[in-house]
Amino acid sequence: MRRFVYCKVVLTTSLVWVLVDVFLLLYFSECNKCDNKKDHSLLPALRAVMSRTHVAPGEMGKAVVIPKDEQEKMKELFKINQFNLMASDMIALNRSLPDVRLDGCKTKTYPDDLPNTSIVIVFHNEAWSTLLRTIHSILLVDDASERDFLKKKLEHHVATLEVPMRILRMEQRSGLIRARLRGAAATRGQVITFLDAHCECTVGWLEPLLARIKEDRRAVVCPIIDVISDETFEYMAGSDMTYGGFNWKLNFRWYPVPQREMDRRKGDRTLPVRTPTMAGGLFSIDRTYFEEIGTYDSGMDIWGGENLEMSFRIWQCGGSLEIVTCSHVGHVFRKATPYSFPGGTGQVINKNNRRLAEVWMDEFKDFFYIISPGVVRVDYGDVSSRKALRESLKCKPFSWYLENIYPDSQIPRRYYSLGEVFSYTADKEIRTDDLCLDASRLNGPVVMLKCHHMKGNQMFEYDAERLTLLHVNSNQCLDMPSEEDKMVPTLRDCSGRRSQQWILRNMTLSV
């Protein structure tokens, strides 16, 4: 049984259509020629499952269900890459996917003279089937993988493809950031498109990205990142109503697109969304602009923080960062990483985040340091060249970024006091991230609720002489928790006792 799939392939010089003849048992024919014993061990289980169905597993992005008698084997294989390897290996290397674009995107037309692109994918000990489903015409950068099938076998396989591909091998484990720099340096396309090694691209994903860069070479563009289940490999369309932000610990987070951005686009959801930050794994950028704006911070290690560093830099230095809602690329999201970080995950990420805070966040870096005190003990290296880059590009201050690009940030632009847990803002909120202290009843405990910025139950006035925090709505004071309050701060009648006195650390900013 065979199926025929039309597949858009990206060359470094042009866009072409090719007819791909995909055999459902392609994986097995390849495995029969490999000398990796782990590959051979999968065959009996996979053949047994395949024989029980007449429909190719995973077609049209459907979930793959593993029979009960194969569950134990599935769980063992899951540990290798922290996703369902058995399910992945059952799916055709070029499975069909649904067209998940908005209707308005399906009728859009694009110029014939779009810029060409080189696609760079970094992998380290990636699974064979997920990697092969990702690649068409790409520059593969091997970050010192140890698995045999990612060496000669991979080279032999890519040599059979009808489109050009190069594999660059890092001499030693260098991490995502430095491996991407190596790949980018070897590209020749007008645009560089970065993808992760476990992605699946849907119909029409590339044209809208390249068209936006053709309109504005300083636009750095991301697709909507759809979710591929790590357990079933089901393809689930992402939302065009979310964009990227971050919390006080400098963790990337998805948040709803604010009304101000909907208004700017006049309700047209097919237009790109201006996003404060990007996830970092999947994006396209004009190659010369990538170089002009400082590529990546090569002083960062492995992975982590580079996406926020680049996001701040793009916006503060005159570029724009956008999610192109007519482009969809699927990505396998894992609950845990199968890779080790030299020196430990926390050490690496803290170093990277310290570098971006020191260079780009100005006095607002204090939010990060107070909430993450361990960061200040990390050796973050020399950032003088990155500060010189900021100076030469005449980049705007971080306060401008918060005011103009991310006004809904959880970091208040004006605050009176900053402590290890909470801040007391100029809007008289006691908050951490996007949660505010909220009191809704007399003589009752307080809770943390989403900040609504409407004062009311979230408004506290600080008396610097009495050291009290007065809840304006109830005219009661915030009191220290007691055992009967189950160790939760509560409201009580103001009495002047010491349990109602709060010393705030003054760190007033003028913005």
Q: What is the pLDDT of residue 321?
A: 98
Highest mean pLDDT range out of 34-48, 54-68, 232-246, 477-491?
232-246
Q: Which residue has the higher pLDDT, 140 or 399?
A: 399
Q: What is the pLDDT of residues 428-485, one digit of tens each?
A: 888 877 788 998 777 778 888 888 888 889 999 999 889 999 999 999 999 987 766 5
Cα 279 to chain centroid distance, Å, stands at 2
pLDDT at 82: 78
- Give me the pLDDT at residue 496, please: 85
Q: In this predicted model, which residue has the larger pLDDT, 442 or 308?
A: 308
The end-to-end CA distance of the chain, in Å, is 67
* Beta carbons within 10 angstroms of residue 288's beta carbon: 11
Cα–Cα dist 387/384, whole Å: 5
pLDDT tens track for 348-374: 888 999 999 999 999 888 878 887 888
Asked if residue 36 has pLDDT above 50, the reply is no
What pLDDT is stored for residue 93 in this prediction?
77
DSSP 8-state class, residue 504: P
Give the pLDDT mean for 410-434.
76
Q: Confidence class of residue 108 from pLDDT cuts 50, 70 and 90?
A: very high
Buried/exposed 362-386: b ≥16 CB within 10 Å, e otherwise: bebbbbbebbbeebeebebeebeeb
- Looking at residue 139, its pLDDT comes to 56
Per DSSP, the three-state class of 505 is: coil
What per-residue confidence (pLDDT) applies to 144? Answer: 59
According to DSSP, the β-strands at 139-142 and 166-169 are: parallel
Mean pLDDT of 42-69: 68
Domains and CATH numbers, the chain: 2-90 (no CATH), 415-500 (2.80.10.50)
Q: How far apart are the C-alpha atoms of 165 and 411, rounded to whole Å?
A: 44
Q: What is the mean pLDDT of residues 290-310?
A: 89
Is residue 39 scored above 90 in pLDDT?
no
| CA–CA separation, 324 and 221 (whole Å) | 6
Task: Report the SS3 class of residue 412.
Answer: coil
Q: Which amino acid is at 265?
A: R
Whether the pLDDT of residue 187 is over 70: the answer is yes
Q: Looking at the chain, how many residues does it have? A: 511
